[in-house]
Every structure is written in C-alpha cells, then in structure tokens.
Structure 1
C-alpha cells in the first residue's frame, strides 16, 4: 500500500495523508464498500455454467446429450471429446444454478491466487477444465464401459472446493493436505455423497429422478486438493 508523506514546516498545520477516495463532507455518509466484488474469473465461470445451460435449452435435449454428454462407453470408440463437452452441459435450471452458486463461492480463492491478469485467467480455466476431465475419467474408471450418461460441472466445482480448502488452510497459499479446512469440508462432502450413494440424490435441487454421479464429486475434490500445489507454483508472480 502506498502512503502519502509530507515534510513538516514549523508553525504550519500539516495535511493528513490521503487514504483514497473523497473525504465525507459534514452531514454526508461515508462511502460504502461494493457489495459484489468477486474476481472476474469467478464471475466468468458462473456465467459459463448458467449461460451455457441457457444456450443448451435452445436445442433438443436428446440430440445434445447424444452428441456431447459423457459416458464411460464413449472411450472405447474414441469419443474422448465428450469428457470435456459434458462439463458444459446440465440437467436442468436447478442443476445449473446450484453449480453456478458453488462455483462463484469456491472460485474466488483460486482467482485471487492466480491474479487478475490474462495469465492468471488462463491458469484458472485450465485448472477448471482439467479437474473436470479427471473427475469424469475417475467416474469411468469406477464404471468401465458403462453407458450411463454424465453431464454437469460438479466434478470441476468439487475440485474448486478442494483447492479452496487448502488455500484457506494456508492463508492464501496451499496449506497442508490434512489441514482443518480440508478435513472439515472434505468430511462434510464425503458424508453428503455417501448419503447420495445410499438413498439417491432426490433431495438435491435439480436431480429429479436422474442419477447423481457422486463418484465424480469425490474424485474431483481429491484432484483439486492435490493439483492446487503445482498450479500455485505455476501461478504468475506480480
């Protein structure tokens, strides 16, 4: 933080250092901090999720899922692109809005770590897409050859959760893997997803009668916890 300094002149009143902004006049209220000041990457990924689903609704559901949803069985004929495209699809407005809200919350620590420059943005979205791909591949490893379709950014968002937990534990840099924030958030996320595995995800907004790929959630969280270290090392230094 820069400071304004003035040399003292005996006998003259000394001006006070300027702290930024205009000083409130008598009878005026002091200026308030902005209510919404999320980093641009956090806003962009939220728009990507919610806006992407808005575009998706313009096309027939069956055609979109057939072309772009991911299934472990797609890996055999070499339809590897669906590992990526499925991240940008969602099963309904509630599904997209929930993922968008979680992405907005858990993107902020990473965005601040990587910085607001173009390099930081590229690193952020590389992390987001890579972890989403690994979460889908983790699901495929547990269900080899399955025709079950998977859509949604939940694996990538779970990775943002895991990475943010480590950043919170380290005060803005990757903290210990077994820090209190990682263990508490990871334990809660594990419990929720084991509950989904046992009774289904009907209690989740937007799931309806569709299955929930809870395995991708857990793989994504673990991937985020581990991958934040090398990505932090790659992050540009201001």
Structure 2
C-alpha cells in the first residue's frame, strides 16, 4: 500500500513579527505544535503509515467524513511535520492571545480544527471524485496565518487587542502576498519537505480565508480587550 503523501500541503512560512515572543506562546499553541512531530512518530509505527486515516475527495461521495479531521493528524515526512509545527507556533501565538485565558484554549483549538476541516473540504470539492489522498495540518496552519494577518499592526501589537478590517490595506496586501506565494508554490509543485509530492495549495487557500474571515466575529466575541466601538480598523472588523 502506498504511503499517504501523494499530496503535500506544507506552507511556505515567513518570519513572524519581531514583536511576538514565540517562546512565550500560550500552552494551547505549544501543545498543537508539539503534537505534530509526536503524532508523526506514532504514525510511522502503523502498518499502513496512516493511509486509512488520510483524506481523499472521493470520500465525500462515499459518505466518509472522518478524513476531513484525521488527515490533519498525519504528515508525509519529518520535514513536513516540523515545518507545520513551526508555522503553528509562530502564527498561532497571536491568535491564541487574542482569545484570552478564560475560554481562549477552547476557542483557539476550535478555530484551528475548523480551519483544517474547511481546508480539506474545499480541497475535496475542487477535486471532486479524485482518489488521491491528502495529509497534513497545513490547511489549519494557513488558517492561523489568515487569522494572524488581521492582527498585524494593531495598536497593542500581537498581544491580543484589535482585529483589523478585511478592507484594511495591510490585510489586503498581506493576503495577496500569501496567496501569490501559495499559487506559485503549487504551480511549481515544490516546497521544503515536500519530498517530490504534489502540494495541495487549494487546501491552503481555503484554510487561509477561513481563518481570515473567522477571526473577526471570534475576536469580537472572545477578544481579551474591548475593540468594538473604538476608532480605527477594528471598528469595521467583519
């Protein structure tokens, strides 16, 4: 049985803002990041390398929905798992801080998982009927990138505070840059850690926009500081 890494969904990561102390990341973010190499270690012990838990678009036709979740628990290699772990740590920290301590961990995990599921679902719809498997947490990681994109440049930096409007020029410029890199990487078909596997760039895009959209209402509902009613980009966060 072939290994479930026919499609690789590893993101190309840029450096996080220098104002963010990565090593002071919230516990929920650290747990998510560490889980990737740990789960891959156990994945390697499975007889089928986790192929039965991968997601293939044809699963949607056959009523198998579990792969939308389990695929993000798998990776195609050590480089794939470690790169996603670094991405989750760098971009997950500001998102988790926005949600605070009371419900922060639960909201962060739901945000992360939700972005991953939407990423896989979007990929499945684009490649409807395909039997090519996809594995990796990069759709969820791109959701964190999308969320973090709307936190950059806020008055309180990346430590909670305000969510920028979708129409903010910084958000638009950063989104275009991320999707350009994503598209080029997908067309070239190569990224560090891909090991020759195809890149599920469509999943990255769906995950990114899921995070970009969801951070607005979640920030209003669970943000650690009151950013509704203030002047500036946060007032129109949607």
Q: TM-score range by the shorter chain?
A: 0.7 to 0.9
TM-score relative to the length of structure 1:
0.78
Task: Tell me the equivalent position of 2:174.
Answer: 185
Match of 2:31 among 37, 44, 48: 44
Confirm whether residue 228 of structure 1 aligns to residue 228 of structure 2: no
What do the CA deviations read for 1:157-207 (whole angstroms, capped 9, x no partner)?
001001011022444322111324423332222122221232212xx1210
| 1:162 is aligned to 2:146 | yes
Deviations 1:66-100 (A, max 9, x none): x1000110112211011000011000000000000
More relative contact order, 1 or 2 (CA 8 Å, 6+ apart): 2
Does 1:74 pair with 2:59? yes
CA contact (8 A) 2:22 2:89 kept: no
Larger Rg: 1
Instruction: Give the whole-Å Cα distance in 1 for the aligned partners of 2:37 and 2:49.
Output: 20
> What stretches of structure 2 of length at least 5 have no aligned partner?
1-20, 156-160, 226-238
CA–CA separation in structure 2 for the residues paired with 1:229 and 1:63: 38
- Secondary structure of the 2:136 match is coil
Q: Paired residues, what number?
A: 200
Asked whether 1:199 is paired with 2:210, we answer no
Which position in structure 2 is the counterpart of 1:133?
117
Structure 1 residue 64 and structure 2 residue 53: aligned? Answer: no
Quote the Cα distance in structure 1 between the aligned partners of 2:224 and 2:188.
46
Aligned partner of residue 175 in structure 1, secondary structure: coil
Q: Are the aligned partners of 1:170 and 1:176 in contact in 2 as well (CA < 8 Å)?
A: no
Listed one character per residue, the Cα deviations across residues 3-50 of structure 1 (whole Å, up to 9, x for unaligned) are xxxxxxxxxxxxxxxxxxxxxxxxxxxxxxx99322112211101222
Are 2:91 and 1:106 equivalent residues in the alignment? yes
Structure 1 moving runs of 4+ over 4 Å: none
